[in-house]
Chains A and B, each alone.
Chain A
Amino acid sequence: MTGLTAIQKVVSRKTGRPRVEVGEIVEAKVDFLMLHEVTGPLAVEQFEKISGKLWDPSRVIVVFDHDVPPSTIELASQMRRMRSFVRKHGVRNFFEIGRGGIAHQVLFEEGFDVPGFLIVGADSHTCTAGATGAIGIGVGSTDAAVVLATGEIWLRVPETLLVEINGRLGKGVFAKDVALSIVGKIGSNGATYKALEYSGETVRMMSLSERLTLANLSVETGAKTGIVQTDSKSIEYAEHYGKCSGLLEVRSDHDADLEKIEMDVSNLEPVVSLPHSVDNVKPVAEVEGLEIDQAFLGSCTNGRFDDLHVAFRILRGRRIAPGVRLVVSPASVKVYTEALRAGIIEEIVRAGGIVTSPTCGACLGMSRGVLAEGEVAVSSSNRNFIGRMGDKKSRVFLASPATVAASAVEGKITDPRRLLA
């Protein structure tokens, strides 16, 4: 018998069987379920049709993040509905406005992303949890409703595509450039229904924050989830912050049946995804000089402390170009606080940027930085579909936080290596 893939190991454990096979449809037990104010109300409505009782209030997480604080009456009402659900069912893990941030960041900070845990979220970027070896699977509201009632989900055990990344990243090249390059290489449909698994020396050198960026973009290849193989960093996370102990070692066996691709990133340059698809990845050099209207730094992909810090290094002593706005949305209250303490927020504001409350906001064109017709944005977020950040005739170029900050200073798409000391 061949060895097991990482995902097979976790799913086996969650079904209470010694071994599940790739392609099998199984019912797996969920460790945590996450809802937010956009997909949550529909999940709750569906849940109430089938059950009056939550499977386990201690395993349900409710976060407000998409439009925080709400900018419309409708969203305020959706939040009110979610608060009443939280109260009625005694949901323990509720992150109110001002107490949390973007769901995927909150899950990480609060120690839910335990290696080997199965986390289901009513949000496509739930795969971010894979940074620490948890299995994060994004679903819609009705799937979430059934989990609320039963604590179980039906899953097809996915094939694994192992992405081995080697080489030391050059100056001005970041995890985001690696992640976008992977999406470019695999394509937006290349890993559909599969699990991505990340290994190699580049990944081992990455901080957990960088791994969150890597895991986060997995869904843009169509993957069900993206798992960074566990090592001392993820195990240390589990021991210090983890809600409880998990499987710890999450990686495929050497003789497991899987596909593998290798990448050498030693010569990788800063890249951008051109409109209107994430897999349309080109070196920054190809579009350098293109004038922008807005630069957005934030999202579950790149709104963390180190993302703000690299922007700070570029903005220090400079000013944002006239006619350009820089919108910064820290990924969480914790990130915001740390950035305040480090003087980063002050420097962003001094340079002419605007800092919003922690929220998804501009990433999906919901609030706080929506684009008008014909406008061009460079963004550290994760999607550049038609109309994603506002008007259908706006254009979004996805890039690293460094490229975003450098472009804000120059007023046009800029290779950050020129501005990084």
Chain B
Amino acid sequence: MKIRGRIIRLGDNVDTDVIIPARYLVTHDAEVLAKHVFEDYYPEFRVKASGGAIIVAGENFGLGSSREHAVIALKHSGVKAVVAKSFARIFYRNSINLGLPALVIREAEGLDRLKDGDEAELDVANGVLTIIKTGEKFSCDKMPEFIMKIIEAGGLINYFLKKNG
């Protein structure tokens, strides 16, 4: 499973309140949520993500509220995967459950060399992020087999239907 997109760099502790503020939790309509993604914190995000994006973030991505709306908003604004130094646990589960790959990358990989706007390819199964222009490769931790199966199925609901189908 390979994913292509432009890198969007984010810092540490990006919480789910800034991804999608509570005032929009009145619906789970993907279009509406995507329209307001990062509205207060990073208003240009939506336009930047629209052609397909891979988020590269720091520590504790997705902390705070359990709102799955955050993953829906990211996915439908064009985010194809999130790569971060670490994830908050509920966001991590939500991301996997909705089929959005979430991979951990180590600082030692030299995150500074992953530039905002660079076109990149992520080999999800092998945990390799490649910058298209330079061919430079970065390794991420491979996702556990059980989690990879959920991602391959396209999320927990499809995984469940397949398993029990």
The reply to whether A387 and B18 contact each other, CB–CB distance below 8 Å, is: yes
CB within 8 A of B66: which of A72, A138, A365, A387? A138
Query: If A142-B98, A145-B157, A365-B23 touch, does A387 touch B64 (CB 8 Å cutoff)?
Result: no
Stretch at the interface among A34-42, A86-94, A335-343, A411-419: A34-42
The reply to whether B98 and A189 contact each other, CB–CB distance below 8 Å, is: no
CA–CA, A41 to B25, complex, Å? 11
Stretch at the interface among B2-10, B74-82, B84-92, B122-130: B84-92
B155 (CB) vs chain A CBs: closest residue: A142
Interface 1/0 per residue, A102-133 and B, CB below 8 Å: 00000000000000000000111000000000
CB within 8 A of B68: which of A42, A49, A72, A365? A42
CA–CA, A25 to B149, complex, Å? 14
Instruction: List residues of chain B with CB within 8 A of the CB of A75.
Output: 26
Q: Does A211 contact B (CB under 8 A)?
A: no
Query: If A154-B146, A189-B13, A386-B18 touch, does A50 touch B157 (CB 8 Å cutoff)?
Result: yes
- Nearest-neighbour CB distance to chain B for A295, whole angstroms, equals 20
The reply to whether B146 and A124 contact each other, CB–CB distance below 8 Å, is: no
Which of chain A's residues 46-69 have a Cβ closer than 8 Å to chain B?
46, 49-50, 66
The reply to whether B26 and A140 contact each other, CB–CB distance below 8 Å, is: no
Instruction: List residues of chain B with CB within 8 A of the CB of A49.
Output: 157, 161
Query: If A42-B28, A188-B13 touch, does A386 touch B65 (CB 8 Å cutoff)?
Result: no
Instruction: List residues of chain B with CB within 8 A of the CB of A66.
Output: 22, 25
- Nearest-neighbour CB distance to chain B for A385, whole angstroms, equals 4
Q: Does B46 contact A (CB under 8 A)?
A: no
The reply to whether B94 and A140 contact each other, CB–CB distance below 8 Å, is: yes
CA–CA, A142 to B90, complex, Å? 11
- Nearest-neighbour CB distance to chain A for B102, whole angstroms, equals 13
CA–CA, A383 to B93, complex, Å? 21
Which of chain B's residues 11-33 have a Cβ closer than 8 Å to chain A?
13, 15, 17-18, 21-23, 25-28
Please, could you name 16 A-B residue pairs with CB atoms under 8 Å apart, sorted by A? A25-B146, A50-B160, A72-B26, A75-B26, A123-B66, A138-B66, A139-B66, A139-B93, A139-B94, A141-B28, A142-B155, A142-B156, A192-B88, A383-B17, A386-B18, A392-B41
Identify 10 new A-B residue pairs, CB closer than 8 A, beyond the known A124-B90, A385-B17.
A49-B161, A124-B65, A139-B93, A146-B160, A188-B63, A189-B86, A192-B89, A365-B21, A366-B22, A385-B15
Top 5 closest A-B pairs, CB basis? A74-B26, A392-B40, A140-B94, A140-B68, A189-B60
